[in-house]
């Protein structure tokens, strides 16, 4: 029976706390059944900590109020390193010289509900919520069903009364499962794991609480710490002792100074997302229990501990306006203008709204209260719109019918989510965006000619196209007259422009700002064609044969190099002296399919066509869009049509998917 109990406890812990079970449900049930059978056969041997016991009793009609022996207080907060220093200084101020700069201990600030547990002679006796701090609700039946909560502590049977406090929480994975289940049944979902844990403990029927994935993490011993154990004189030792008794305790770090506290705090900001449950900060406590006693409390907070909160990741604010921005390639994107707020430690005043569809999905309007979420470094997003607080005067958002900058009609291509200005390079917004892109670090890298000056020069008519940048040296007198732009800065700009003339073919292609051609594609084009003239002259087939270039990008590039305006700009740039070293094309002669040209047709069952194309290219083959006598092989999937007929007619070898897979696997 003991072996089964220990095994069940281990598996409960893995399942409910770590969310990492190693048994199948049926295997677990079998262990449980075996224990139950033994308990039925030998009732007088039933162990007090048997998990079979761990189900609640009958439903209650109401919770009883219980007054705490010792009030359950809350914690003060600090939000940054200065605050933390201040907290430690206030601790020092109350200590004698010899006691100054005490050791501290740091714990996770678990985002759940504070609960006080009582054990009488080692037996679980009572669980009470924090309530108002003085009086809470008796949730003994519900808490009993928490699988990692020990019901019997053998090593504490000599302690008449042990009071342990800690946090009840719902691990993230369990929370998501619970919500999915609720969703499937069309029931209400919980907003976050904390609410779900609270809702579960507030159930009058313990059977419901029992079905919820809850866990208990102990963080303090409030009564019954054995005096005889003089080695338990610190918070960290007290938690270690609770761990020995069978409680789950959160990670603990003992630190000597504010720097070390800061380092640990920052490392936890990095790893918090990897934890199985949510935390909203760290708790920092004076480690010595006698110093804690000496420091005491100030109104409702201990002087010896504080919460070092993480920057909030979600905050509420008002969406003041929705503006439309025109990008380099004419895409018109909505940008939300917020009443500025701090999220995750930085002030934000803009949020991305992606596209018109996103506005419809969120059903958001200018003037709405919104929750703004920022995780990691990503640009903040609206996670929720508070429709119940909507202003009566607000109106639904409409997609503008004309470009907000040049008033050309807006087009909404069927296959694209984004609306576009049809003005092309006639649109000043597209012109300036093209300039900004051209000088950017990863393109021509013209340091010093920042966005601000570029826009001013554009407005003054000094630059219109990217080629005009290389004529700026003829306008230095005018440039100097610009506010805040002294002779020295102008000199720097001119030098940076001069220096940018030596570049690489890949950077140059990227700088041209061809739609769909990012840095990677620009590099591939440079590798594939080796020089600009070949790229400009390339037909669709040749363009598509470039690694990672699909039909759409090939078409956009093909079109770009056919527009007289673009050719003119490119020629001016070259005439102005923009140049690059010859591209060293990597030799592919060692690759097995070097010199071969393949065509793909039909549907492949094992991968997408792009993937097959990439695999062929990796082996050295060129992949073309159409069959000719020069084609080496046709890779034909299901429902291959006219290309198949043509291959047969031209005597081009046809390769089936299986044969192809064998080839790429070799
Ligand atoms: S110690 C005198 N340790 O935070 C109060 N509290 O904001 C001592 N909490 O009500 C509390 N994790 O529910 C402590 N490791 C931890 C904690 C923790 C979460 C909660 C607790 C408390 C609230 C205060």
Per-residue pLDDT tens for 630-654? 899 999 988 878 888 889 889 999 9
Residues of the chain with pLDDT > 70, as a percent, come to 96
Q: How many CB atoms lie within 10 A of CB 189?
A: 14
Query: Would you say the CB of residue 216 lies under 6 angstroms from ligand 1?
Result: no
Measured in angstroms, how far is the CA atom of residue 221 from the centroid of ligand 1? Answer: 12
Give whole-number Cα distances, 280 to 272, 285, 571, in Å: 9, 16, 58
Summarize the confidence of residues 435-444 as an average pLDDT.
Answer: 93
Average pLDDT of the residues of the chain: 89
pLDDT by residue (tens digit) across 525-540? Answer: 999 999 999 999 999 9
Measured in angstroms, how far is the CA atom of residue 495 from the centroid of ligand 1? Answer: 60
Pocket test of ligand 1: the residue of 114, 116, 281 to mutate, having most ligand atoms within 8 Å of its CB, is 114
Q: Is the pLDDT of residue 266 over 60?
A: yes
Label the pairing between strands 215-223 and 161-169. antiparallel
With b for 16 or more beta-carbon neighbours within 10 A and e for fewer, the 610-632 pattern comes to: eebbebbbebbbbbbbebeeebb
Query: Would you say the CB of residue 569 lies under 6 angstroms from ligand 1?
Result: no
pLDDT by residue (tens digit) across 445-455? Answer: 998 888 888 98
> What pLDDT is attached to residue 18?
74
Tell me the H-state helices in 108-211: 140-144, 172-184, 193-201, 206-210
Measured in angstroms, how far is the CA atom of residue 152 from the centroid of ligand 1? Answer: 24
Query: Would you say the CB of residue 219 lies under 6 angstroms from ligand 1?
Result: yes
Q: What tokens were used for 390?
A: 């909507």
Query: Would you say the CB of residue 107 lies under 6 angstroms from ligand 1?
Result: yes
> What pLDDT is attached to residue 89?
95
Helix (H, G, I), strand (E, B) or coil at 307: strand
> What pLDDT is attached to residue 653?
92
Query: Would you say the CB of residue 307 lies under 6 angstroms from ligand 1?
Result: yes
Residues taking part in catalysis: 109
Give whole-number Cα distances, 270 to 85, 338, 400, in Å: 22, 27, 41
Summarize the confidence of residues 126-145 as an average pLDDT.
Answer: 92
**The ligand 1 atom nearest the CA atom of 114:** 13
CA dihedral 292, 295, 299, 301 (to 10 degrees): -40
Local confidence band at 377 (pLDDT 50, 70, 90 cut-offs): very low
104 - beta bridge partners? 255, 286
Residues of the chain with pLDDT > 90, as a percent, come to 50
Max Cα distance, the chain (Å): 102
pLDDT by residue (tens digit) across 472-492? Answer: 999 988 888 877 778 888 999
Measured in angstroms, how far is the CA atom of residue 217 from the centroid of ligand 1? Answer: 11
Summarize the confidence of residues 98-107 as an average pLDDT.
Answer: 96
Query: Would you say the CB of residue 105 lies under 6 angstroms from ligand 1?
Result: no
Query: Would you say the CB of residue 73 lies under 6 angstroms from ligand 1?
Result: yes
Measured in angstroms, how far is the CA atom of residue 299 from the centroid of ligand 1? Answer: 16
> What pLDDT is attached to residue 347?
81
Q: Give the residue from 481, 479, 459 showing the smallest Cα distance to 471.
A: 479
**The ligand 1 atom nearest the CA atom of 307:** 7
**The ligand 1 atom nearest the CA atom of 250:** 15
Pocket test of ligand 1: the residue of 111, 113, 165, 167 to mutate, having most ligand atoms within 8 Å of its CB, is 167
- Threshold 0.75, pTM exceeds: no
Task: Sheet with 597-601: list strands edge to edge.
Answer: 622-624, 597-601, 633-636, 653-656
Tell me the angle at which helices 2-12 and 25-41 cross, rounded to the nearest 10 degrees: 150
Helix, strand, coil tally for the chain in percent (to 5): 40, 20, 40
Residue whose CA is closest, atom 9 of ligand 1? Answer: 109
Q: Is the pLDDT of residue 19 over 80?
A: no
Q: What tokens were used for 397?
A: 């958002």
Residue whose CA is closest, atom 10 of ligand 1? Answer: 74
pLDDT by residue (tens digit) across 31-52? Answer: 888 998 998 899 889 888 888 8
Query: Would you say the CB of residue 253 lies under 6 angstroms from ligand 1?
Result: no
- Give the span between the Cα atoms of 240 and 229, in whole angstroms: 13
Q: Is the pLDDT of residue 305 over 90?
A: yes
**The ligand 1 atom nearest the CA atom of 109:** 12
- Give the span between the Cα atoms of 466 and 476, in whole angstroms: 17
Query: Would you say the CB of residue 260 lies under 6 angstroms from ligand 1?
Result: no
Local confidence band at 375 (pLDDT 50, 70, 90 cut-offs): low
Query: Would you say the CB of residue 349 lies under 6 angstroms from ligand 1?
Result: no
Give whole-number Cα distances, 283 to 56, 450, 512, 519, in Å: 32, 45, 53, 45
**The ligand 1 atom nearest the CA atom of 220:** 1
> What pLDDT is attached to residue 376?
46
Residue whose CA is closest, atom 18 of ligand 1? Answer: 109
Local confidence band at 466 (pLDDT 50, 70, 90 cut-offs): very high
Measured in angstroms, how far is the CA atom of residue 250 from the centroid of ligand 1? Answer: 12
Summarize the confidence of residues 381-396 as an average pLDDT.
Answer: 90
Query: Would you say the CB of residue 109 lies under 6 angstroms from ligand 1?
Result: yes
- Give the span between the Cα atoms of 615 and 605, in whole angstroms: 15
Helix (H, G, I), strand (E, B) or coil at 223: strand
């Amino acid at each position: 029976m003991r072996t089964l109990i220990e095994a069940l406890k281990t598996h409960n812990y893995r399942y409910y706390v770590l969310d990492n079970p190693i048994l199948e449900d049926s295997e677990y049930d079998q262990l449980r059944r075996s224990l139950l059978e033994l308990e039925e056969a030998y009732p007088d041997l039933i162990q007090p900590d048997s998990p079979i016991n761990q189900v609640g009793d009958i439903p209650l009609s109401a919770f009883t109020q219980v007054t705490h022996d010792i009030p359950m207080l809350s914690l003060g907060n600090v939000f940054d390193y200065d605050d933390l220093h201040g907290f430690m200084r206030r601790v020092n101020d109350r200590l004698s010289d010899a006691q100054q700069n005490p050791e501290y201990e740091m714990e996770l600030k678990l985002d759940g509900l504070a609960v006080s547990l009582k054990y009488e002679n080692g037996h679980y006796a009572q669980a009470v919520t924090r309530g108002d701090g003085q009086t809470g609700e008796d949730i003994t039946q519900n808490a009993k069903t928490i699988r990692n909560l020990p019901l019997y502590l053998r090593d504490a049977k000599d302690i008449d009364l042990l009071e342990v406090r800690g946090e009840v929480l719902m691990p993230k994975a369990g929370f998501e499962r619970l919500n999915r289940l609720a969703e499937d049944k069309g029931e209400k979902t919980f907003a976050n794991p904390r609410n779900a844990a609270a809702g579960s403990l507030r159930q009058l029927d313990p059977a419901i609480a029992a079905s919820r994935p809850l866990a208990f993490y102990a963080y303090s011993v409030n009564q019954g710490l054995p005096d005889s154990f003089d080695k338990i004189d610190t918070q960290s030792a007290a938690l270690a002792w609770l761990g020995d008794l069978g409680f789950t305790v959160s990670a603990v770090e003992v630190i000597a100074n504010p720097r070390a506290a800061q380092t640990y705090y920052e490392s936890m900001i990095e790893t918090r997302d990897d934890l199985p449950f949510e935390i909203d900060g760290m708790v920092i406590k004076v480690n010595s229990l006698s110093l804690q006693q000496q420091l005491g409390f100030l109104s409702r907070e201990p002087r010896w501990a504080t919460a070092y909160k993480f920057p909030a990741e979600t905050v509420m604010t008002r969406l003041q306006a929705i503006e439309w921005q025109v990008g380099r390639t004419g895409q018109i994107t909505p940008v939300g203008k917020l009443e500025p707020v701090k999220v995750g430690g930085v002030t934000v005043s803009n949020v991305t709204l992606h596209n018109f569809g996103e506005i419809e999905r969120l059903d958001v309007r200018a003037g709405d209260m919104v929750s703004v979420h920022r995780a990691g470094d990503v640009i903040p997003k609206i996670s929720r719109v508070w429709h119940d607080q909507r202003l009566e005067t607000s109106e639904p958002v409409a997609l503008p019918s004309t470009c907000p900058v040049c008033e050309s009609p807006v087009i909404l291509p069927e296959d694209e989510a984004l609306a576009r200005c049809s003005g092309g390079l006639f649109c000043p917004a597209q012109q300036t965006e093209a300039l900004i892109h051209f000088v950017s670090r990863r393109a021509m890298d013209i340091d010093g000619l920042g966005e601000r000056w570029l826009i001013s020069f554009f407005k003054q008519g000094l630059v219109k196209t990217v080629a005009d940048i290389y004529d700026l040296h003829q306008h230095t007198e005018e440039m100097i007259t610009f506010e805040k732009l002294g002779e020295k800065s102008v000199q720097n700009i001119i030098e940076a422009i001069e220096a940018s003339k030596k570049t690489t073919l890949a950077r140059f292609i990227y700088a041209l700002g061809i739609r769909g051609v990012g840095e990677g594609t620009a590099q591939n084009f440079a590798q594939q064609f080796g020089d600009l003239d070949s790229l400009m002259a390339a037909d669709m087939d040749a363009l598509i044969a470039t690694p990672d270039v699909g039909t759409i990008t090939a078409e956009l590039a093909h079109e770009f190099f056919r527009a007289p305006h673009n050719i003119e700009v490119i020629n001016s740039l070259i005439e102005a002296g923009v140049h690059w070293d010859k591209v060293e094309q990597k030799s592919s002669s060692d690759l097995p399919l070097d010199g071969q040209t393949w065509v793909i047709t039909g549907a492949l069952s094992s991968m997408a066509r792009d993937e097959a194309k990439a695999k062929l290219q990796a082996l050295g083959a060129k992949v073309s869009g159409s069959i000719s006598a020069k084609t080496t092989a046709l890779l034909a999937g299901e429902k291959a049509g006219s290309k198949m007929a043509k291959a047969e007619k031209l005597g081009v070898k046809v390769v089936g998917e299986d044969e192809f897979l064998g080839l790429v696997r070799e």
